[in-house]
A and B are shown apart, each in its own frame.
Chain A
Amino acid sequence: MLTYIIRRILYAVPIVIGVNVLTAVLFFYVNTPDDMARKTLGEKNVTPAAIENWKRDHGYNLPTFLNAKETGVSTVTQTIFFQKSVPLLWFDFGRSDRNNIDIGGEIKKRMWASLAVSIPMFLIGILIDLTFAMILAYYRGTYLDIWGVVLAVIMMSVSTLFYIIGGQFVLGKVLKMFPVSGYDTGLYSVKFVILPVIIGIIGGIGVGVRFYRTVFLEEINKDYIRTARAKGLSEARVLFKHALKNAMIPVLTNVVVSIPFLFYGSLIMETFFAIPGLGNFTIDAIQSQDFAIVRSMVYLGSILYIIGLILTDISYTLVDPRVRFE
């Protein structure tokens, strides 16, 4: 087991380095520091001297990957890539281009707001989706099942924006049950979090229920389910004991990979509800053309995805006895 995890993490090392290089190419080569300076200083009426000043102030006045003017190790270290991108490997995100704030510190501060919304949304959401999916699978082929699937398809076809705006209007403005948007610190945040959580869950129900129902139905037609029935077990026992544990295997792939992203929050939800989380942070950075923050968040997203994949592989070995570690 331990060897397996170590090997899995070792496999991730070259991928992380590759992601780092690709991010650098995207942000320093495709989109050069000159472009960044121009976008920040205004496209028109900008003098070459102003661009050079901006680049020097923000540390972009070096060659991208190789510095021919230097000798020895410095040819590699005195570059934008080494100064700006390589430190990401040990999560040193540097400072933002615009307000010179510490990006790492900001991420640490803001992720709690993201988690306050995403964790309850994730956990309660899965529980509700699984429950509805099991009910539909139990009553498969009946009108309840058919109309349940129709409803799920309708719900997944409606845009998330509709749920957000509709929810804010009905539950927030008309019924005055929750504040429409905003955030507070500590326990005071609870009343601000409830509305986005409810809306997030409703928005995801269609896709979730439909997917989990399909997974359950696939398991229900397996041979071992027939064996379980032939033993004289009740349908509920067959479904909740024998089918559920097997259905967890495909469910896990879908779910575990997204766990690290809970830190990241949701771009749209956080913007609409004015939650000061990482999603909001990213959107603001995009709007203000702060490439240092955007680059950090893109890189962080890739890293979280890689962690998600590793966690998925490890969780397989826990639920499926057929997966071996060798």
Chain B
Amino acid sequence: MSTPVIQVKDLKTYFQTPKGVAKAVDGVSFEIPKGGTFALVGESGCGKSVTALSLIQLVPEPAGYIAGGEILLNGRDIAGLTEREKRAIRGNKISMIFQEPMTSLNPVFTIGDQIMETIRLHQRKTSAEARTLAMEMFGKVGLPNPESLINEYPHRLSGGMRQRVMIAIALSCKPDLLIADEPTTALDVTIQDQIIELIREVKESTGTAILLITHNLALVYRNAGTVGVMYAGKIVELTATKNLFRNPMHPYTVKLLRSIPGGEKRGKALDTISGTVPPATSYPAGCHFSGRCPREMEGCASVYPELTERAAGHTVACHLHDPEFMAGGNSKPLRHEPDALPPLTAPYAEREVLLDVRALKTHYPVRKGLFKKITGFVKAVDGIDLTVRKGATLALVGESGCGKTTAGKSIIQLIRPTAGEILFKGSDLARMDERTIKPFRSLIQIIFQDPYSSLNPRLMIKDTIEEGIKVLKPGLGKAERERKITEVLDRVGLTPDMMYRYPHEFSGGQRQRIGIARALAVDPEFIVCDEAVSALDVSVQAQILNLLKSIQRDFGLSFLFITHDLSVVEYIADEVAVMYDGKIVERNSTVEIFSNPVHDYTKKLLAAIPKIDEELVKLWKLPGK
């Protein structure tokens, strides 16, 4: 067998922090053969991206440094090279594409300049030859009209096109290894599919090895040859993709897989992992997953399980698969979560209509010329009809720019619609002024996408929640307000003492819980969830989805779920409306939409989601008896 393109042996990348040494990558080994795809998966903060940056020798200095191990590129160790030698490898032998295509290109240079810069840096080419090659690369990655595109600035391109430009730049010097760090996470589902297809084509035609970093397990299932599951700086399970999805052996892998939402899990709770990833400055002495593991034993926290081959071609770092350990005295179970998932069904008997949207239109004027005359309208929402039933969830799906967020904001009157009726319990919200609509404001709430920027950083959690109660429930006294805040924080799984903290002290999942608590505090009947779980890790997303489901069941709430993530829709929604270009192209029950889509656009959307075969899902069982 020929030398693998890249071999990583016991790589350790540490960071010097005020709290001590953070072992972001703590002894990771893997290799990728020519033309192979290796995927690293795991929650945020597990060390996936730092591993990638270590390979391309871009660990942020001076805080970060490679503390040990070898990185062999075609058999040659590159960790000890001089800066000049490393630069000759970066962008040439190893290149990288990033998660954020919107910000990864320099806004003040044309995309032609940016690709030709790489070409001329690493290849002996005149500027005319570089230009020809640049256009050829643009053609290869499927960008239209390379001749005119080459002079465009990045802001004129869509996210998908920018990611294509990034790929063209990365591939322009025919690298041996392409690192793709969450290459599709920020993109729409149909664009995701195209980009993944493009990466696959590139791999097949050039033999470039690919390191795919993602938290999207379905993407891994469809694209990777080998998978390493990373947890807290270590690889805990490493095997061929088909082995991993057929027989996940590490409890963390099983938990991660079972937290993916999907149609087959409807009506059931999603599996979640309690707690959070430990900080890289203070891992447990033994297994890093101890403390969160559903099958923890007495010795787990003190004895480290080495990554060992436990089945043919399947290595895993878990004592549960070590016969020697299991025979010893350390194997007494500390915790034993049941394997079966609890049912979680919302009562679906009451089917009366709560909200009826008729021919809703929201148009924005376009102004042009010296005197800014109105020359036309952007028809963001162009005559949509929707019905949300009591205690049920309607999902509004579509790609970015289709008008779904504008529709949501128009329905709750954050934006005044141009025309149409919004009948909430029979009253038309669109006809009301600020005074008459006030009693309805507490009944209708919204939860936003970005848990990081939608909480005011200068306000304590108590103040954020109390503000809404004061305005919408003026009858409540101070003590009653405080009781209400305690109650809702408790309901969303936070402790009451947390109300005196500020947003930066919370994780993304906790912040989203605060957002839900804020909405719940004014006793709403209807909540718009605008991409409420899109920014979260799959394991955290599962917790929030479970929470939303359970509050829906307990309070009989109705949800309008605005999202582009169809696997979430399939799990949580009762009905689906598919939006395209300001119009609803298809409306039906979730089951019908997913089994018999009628409209071409719906079919296209459904075909684009990477899916894991349903029979595999049934095989995912926690190890141990």
Give the B-binding residues of A (Cβ under 8 A).
3, 6-7, 141-142, 222-224, 226-234, 242, 245-246, 319-322, 326
The range of chain B's interface size is 20 to 34
Within the complex, which residue of A142, A223, A246 is in contact with B104, where a contact is CB–CB below 8 Å?
Answer: A223
Within the complex, which residue of A7, A142, A224, A230 is in contact with B90, where a contact is CB–CB below 8 Å?
Answer: A230
Kindly state the separation between the CA atoms of A200 and B108 in the bound complex, as whole angstroms. 33
Q: Is B590 among interface residues, defined by CB-CB distance under 8 A?
A: no
| Nearest opposing residue in chain A for B153, CB measure | A321
Instruction: Return chain B residues, CB-CB under 8 Å to A6.
Output: 370
Q: Are B107 and A227 in contact (CB under 8 A)?
A: no
Kindly state the separation between the CA atoms of A230 and B166 in the bound complex, as whole angstroms. 11
| Nearest opposing residue in chain B for A326, CB measure | B368
| Nearest opposing residue in chain A for B87, CB measure | A232
| Nearest opposing residue in chain A for B96, CB measure | A230
Instruction: Supply 17 A–B pairs (Cβ within 8 Å), ascending by A.
Output: A3-B370, A141-B63, A223-B100, A223-B104, A226-B58, A227-B105, A228-B106, A230-B58, A230-B91, A231-B95, A231-B117, A231-B169, A232-B89, A232-B118, A232-B122, A322-B107, A326-B368
| Nearest opposing residue in chain A for B105, CB measure | A224
Q: Are A233 and B87 in contact (CB under 8 A)?
A: yes
| Nearest opposing residue in chain B for A4, CB measure | B370
Flag B27-66 by CB within 8 Å of A: 1 or 0 each: 0000000000000000000000000000010100011000
Instruction: Return chain A residues, CB-CB under 8 Å to B370.
Output: 3, 6-7
A6-B370, A233-B117, A326-B368 are known contacts. Are A245 and B108 too (CB-CB below 8 A)? Answer: yes
Instruction: Return chain B residues, CB-CB under 8 Å to A234.
Output: 87
Smallest beta-carbon distance A240→chain B, Å: 13
Smallest beta-carbon distance A221→chain B, Å: 9
| Nearest opposing residue in chain A for B166, CB measure | A227
Q: Are A224 and B104 in contact (CB under 8 A)?
A: yes
Kindly state the separation between the CA atoms of A322 and B103 in the bound complex, as whole angstroms. 13
Q: Are A246 and B96 in contact (CB under 8 A)?
A: no
Q: Are B91 and A232 in contact (CB under 8 A)?
A: yes
| Nearest opposing residue in chain B for A225, CB measure | B106
Q: Are B58 and A227 in contact (CB under 8 A)?
A: no
Q: Are B155 and A230 in contact (CB under 8 A)?
A: no
Kindly state the separation between the CA atoms of A226 and B370 in the bound complex, as whole angstroms. 40
Q: Are A246 and B106 in contact (CB under 8 A)?
A: yes
Kindly state the separation between the CA atoms of A84 and B551 in the bound complex, as whole angstroms. 72
Known: A223-B98, A226-B104. 11 other contacts (CB 8 A): A3-B370, A6-B370, A141-B62, A142-B62, A230-B91, A231-B95, A231-B118, A233-B87, A245-B109, A320-B108, A322-B155
Q: Is B442 among interface residues, defined by CB-CB distance under 8 A?
A: no
Flag B105-136 by CB within 8 Å of A: 1 or 0 each: 11111000000011001100000000000000
| Nearest opposing residue in chain B for A140, CB measure | B62
Smallest beta-carbon distance B597→chain A, Å: 36
A3-B370, A232-B121, A322-B155 are known contacts. Are A227 and B106 too (CB-CB below 8 A)? Answer: yes
Q: Is B88 among interface residues, defined by CB-CB distance under 8 A?
A: yes
Instruction: Return chain B residues, CB-CB under 8 Å to A326.
Output: 367-368
Instruction: Return chain A residues, CB-CB under 8 Å to B477.
Output: none
| Nearest opposing residue in chain B for A3, CB measure | B370
| Nearest opposing residue in chain B for A142, CB measure | B62
Q: Is B92 among interface residues, defined by CB-CB distance under 8 A?
A: yes
Smallest beta-carbon distance B210→chain A, Å: 15
Smallest beta-carbon distance B501→chain A, Å: 27
A223-B98, A321-B153 are known contacts. Are A232 and B90 too (CB-CB below 8 A)? Answer: yes
Q: Is B369 among interface residues, defined by CB-CB distance under 8 A?
A: yes
Kindly state the separation between the CA atoms of A223 and B87 in the bound complex, as whole angstroms. 18
Kindly state the separation between the CA atoms of A307 and B359 in the bound complex, as whole angstroms. 49
Smallest beta-carbon distance B15→chain A, Å: 13
Smallest beta-carbon distance B11→chain A, Å: 18
Flag B73-109 by CB within 8 Å of A: 1 or 0 each: 0000000000000011111100110101001111111
| Nearest opposing residue in chain A for B90, CB measure | A232
Smallest beta-carbon distance B10→chain A, Å: 24
| Nearest opposing residue in chain A for B369, CB measure | A3
Smallest beta-carbon distance A313→chain B, Å: 16
Kindly state the separation between the CA atoms of A312 and B58 in the bound complex, as whole angstroms. 37
Within the complex, which residue of B90, B108, B109, B153 is in contact with A231, where a contact is CB–CB below 8 Å?
Answer: B90
Within the complex, which residue of A142, A226, A321 is in contact with B98, where a contact is CB–CB below 8 Å?
Answer: A226
Most buried by B among A228, A232, A245, A321: A232
Q: Are A229 and B108 in contact (CB under 8 A)?
A: no
Kindly state the separation between the CA atoms of A98 and B104 in the bound complex, as whole angstroms. 64
Kindly state the separation between the CA atoms of A119 and B494 in the bound complex, as whole angstroms. 61
Instruction: Return chain A residues, CB-CB under 8 Å to B169.
Output: 227, 231
| Nearest opposing residue in chain B for A245, CB measure | B108
Most buried by A among B58, B100, B108, B367: B108
Q: Are B117 and A224 in contact (CB under 8 A)?
A: no
Smallest beta-carbon distance A234→chain B, Å: 6
Smallest beta-carbon distance A248→chain B, Å: 8
Kindly state the separation between the CA atoms of A319 and B63 in the bound complex, as whole angstroms. 34
Q: Are B107 and A224 in contact (CB under 8 A)?
A: yes
| Nearest opposing residue in chain B for A243, CB measure | B106
Kindly state the separation between the CA atoms of A321 and B153 in the bound complex, as whole angstroms. 7
Residues of chain B in range 141-171 having any CB-CB distance to chain A below 8 Å: 153, 155, 166, 169
Instruction: Return chain B residues, CB-CB under 8 Å to A222.
Output: 103
Kindly state the separation between the CA atoms of A236 and B153 in the bound complex, as whole angstroms. 23
Smallest beta-carbon distance A278→chain B, Å: 35
Instruction: Return chain B residues, CB-CB under 8 Å to A322.
Output: 107, 153, 155
A233-B121, A326-B368 are known contacts. Are A320 and B91 too (CB-CB below 8 A)? Answer: no
Q: Are A321 and B108 in contact (CB under 8 A)?
A: yes
Q: Are A229 and B155 in contact (CB under 8 A)?
A: no
| Nearest opposing residue in chain B for A221, CB measure | B60
